[in-house]
Amino acid sequence: TLHAGIVGLPNVGKSTLFNAITQAGAEAANYPFCTIDPNVGIVQVPDHRLGILADMVHPDRIVPATVEFVDIAGLVKGASKGEGLGNKFLSHIREVDAIVHVVRCFEDSNVVHVEGNIDPKRDIETIELELVLADMESIEKRSERVTKLLKSGDKKVQAEVDLLNKLKEAFNEGKSARRLIYTEEEEELLKTISLLSLKPVLYAANVSEEELTSNEENKYVRQVRELAAQENSEVVVVCAKIESEIAELEDNEKQAFLEDLGLHESGLDRLIRAAFHLLGLMTFFTAGPMEVKAWTIRQGTKAPQAAGTIHTDFERGFIRAEVVSYTDFVEKGGLNGARDKGLVRLEGKDYLMQDGDIVHFRFNV
Ligand code: GDP
């Protein structure tokens, strides 16, 4: 399964946020595989559509989608040179599919900042630079090899040499690979190069308790937004401290607590959903009297492979998918109503699944 790694400088609130995630996960979960790595947290993806479907279908149980986070503590300046436990942490980042970068935007004189003051721009660039330096090192050998091949007359590697030079130029300016624009051919080549600074990122701006409920965004959050906008990354404002308190509450208490603060949704919920999308994931539903369930697939998945997430037999014996969109299902009062209006489609093996599809698969055993 795909997972997102939580990174950031020391003392920015990573563990506090990660604890909130594992708390929230532990609350809701009864996973058979629950005794996993303490650095991995599995949480449910909040999705209001599940509740609405359940009210219509009255299933025995509701099963939400989940998303996995990995706590990658300990990334410090100099990591790419092996300082601290540098290389180990970089190798952990290599294994994740997306990055949640926690940035300190709260002032608190009791919590030391490793660099002495709050400066989100500097902090983000510090972490990014470590990723860039690691990437620089990892393309060096390859670059030497293909440059040699090109010189000896192997024209096939021209595109690769060009791409590596383009990357090197960016890295020399301290720019992440994420910031460049690539042709389709380059995109293909990139799949064969593992780059840390190319991984999709979202920024979790960790603000103080007071800031969370204030109407105006503080200057630190604005700095984060400015940087994020340059690379089309998303920013989610959270207060890790409050999230860790909320995560300990029961569902009904949680709602009351949020309303007291004048919020309708917790920052953690928004963060979880944003991470789910950042990972390139989407949801389809099955809805019957036994259960209403959100299934997780990659964006761009076709019907037989979606069926395969339910059972391999469904994929192997796939005949057709009966599909109705979530909106049509709800508007027409359920499957029969949608069918009466001709809104239940029969789709074949080339059908590209859409987020929110409600599906019944037909298959041969
Ligand atoms: P990490 O080193 O990035 O994992 O940071 P921690 O989660 O251990 O947090 C460092 C310190 O900052 C702890 O004392 C936390 O209680 C405190 N902290 C974390 N988030 C917040 C926050 O949103 N507001 C305030 N005031 N303190 C926070």
The predicted-structure confidence for 89-105, as pLDDT tens digits, reads as follows 788 899 999 999 999 99
Q: What value does the mean pLDDT take over residues 263-289?
A: 94
* pLDDT at residue 336, rounded to an integer: 94
Name the pTM for this structure. 0.89
Choice among 19-28, 129-138, 254-263, 274-283 with the minimum mean pLDDT: 19-28
pLDDT, the chain, mean: 90
Q: What value does the mean pLDDT take over residues 148-174?
A: 94
Q: Does residue 1 or residue 297 have the better pLDDT?
A: 297
What are the tens digits of pLDDT across the range 103-144? 999 988 888 787 788 999 999 999 999 999 999 999 998 999
Residue nearest to ligand 1 atom 10, measured at CA: 11
**High-pLDDT (> 90) share of the chain, %:** 74
Q: What value does the mean pLDDT take over residues 203-216?
A: 88
* pLDDT at residue 251, rounded to an integer: 82
DSSP state of 279: T
Rounded to whole angstroms, the Cα distance separating 41 from 29 reads: 11
* pLDDT at residue 111, rounded to an integer: 83
Query: Which residues have a Cβ under 8 Å from the Cβ of 192 and sit 6 or more positions away?
Result: none
Statement: residue 243 has pLDDT above 90: yes
* 144 Cα–ligand 1 center, Å: 44
Statement: residue 210 has pLDDT above 50: yes
Band the pLDDT of 34: cuts 50, 70, 90. very low
Rounded to whole angstroms, the Cα distance separating 283 from 277 reads: 10
What are the tens digits of pLDDT across the range 214-231? 878 899 999 999 999 999
Token pair for 304: 């037989």
Band the pLDDT of 32: cuts 50, 70, 90. very low
Phi, psi of 332 (to 5 degrees): -95, 10
Rounded to whole angstroms, the Cα distance separating 76 from 10 reads: 7
Residue nearest to ligand 1 atom 17, measured at CA: 13
**Torsion angle defined by CA atoms of residues 244, 250, 251 and 253, in that order, rounded to the nearest 10 degrees:** -90
- Report which secondary-structure segment, H or E, holds 87: helix 86-95
Band the pLDDT of 36: cuts 50, 70, 90. low
Statement: residue 286 has pLDDT above 70: yes
Residue 104 Cβ < 6 Å to ligand 1: no
Contact yes or no for 199/98 (Cβ under 8 A): yes
ipTM: 0.94
Q: What value does the mean pLDDT take over residues 63-73?
A: 91
Token pair for 46: 């909040």
* Residues in a beta bridge with 201: 99
Residue nearest to ligand 1 atom 1, measured at CA: 11
Domains and CATH numbers, the chain: 3-115+200-278 (3.40.50.300), 126-197 (1.10.150.300), 300-363 (3.10.20.30)
Phi, psi of 11 (to 5 degrees): 65, 25
Residue 267 Cβ < 6 Å to ligand 1: no
Count of other CB atoms within 10 angstroms of residue 114 = 13
* 125 Cα–ligand 1 center, Å: 20
* 177 Cα–ligand 1 center, Å: 30
Count of other CB atoms within 10 angstroms of residue 90 = 22
Pocket probe for ligand 1: among 111, 245, 246, 261, the residue whose CB has the most ligand atoms within 8 Å is 111
Residue 11 Cβ < 6 Å to ligand 1: yes
* 360 Cα–ligand 1 center, Å: 46
Q: Between the CA of residue 21 and those of 10, 140, 159, 251, what are the distances in Å?
A: 18, 38, 43, 15
What are the tens digits of pLDDT across the range 310-338? 999 999 999 999 999 999 999 999 999 99
Count of other CB atoms within 10 angstroms of residue 312 = 10
Q: Does residue 26 or residue 339 have the better pLDDT?
A: 339
Query: Which residues have a Cβ under 8 Å from the Cβ of 186 and sit 6 or more positions away?
Result: 159, 163, 166
Pocket probe for ligand 1: among 7, 11, 102, 109, the residue whose CB has the most ligand atoms within 8 Å is 11
Query: Which residues have a Cβ under 8 Å from the Cβ of 22 and sit 6 or more positions away?
Result: 41
Tell me how many helices (H) and strands (E) the chain has. Answer: 15, 12
Relative to the CA of 19, which ligand 1 atom is closest?
A: 7
DSSP state letters, 95-155: H-SEEEEEEE----TTS--TTSS--HHHHHHHHHHHHHHHHHHHHHHHHHHHHHHHHTT-G
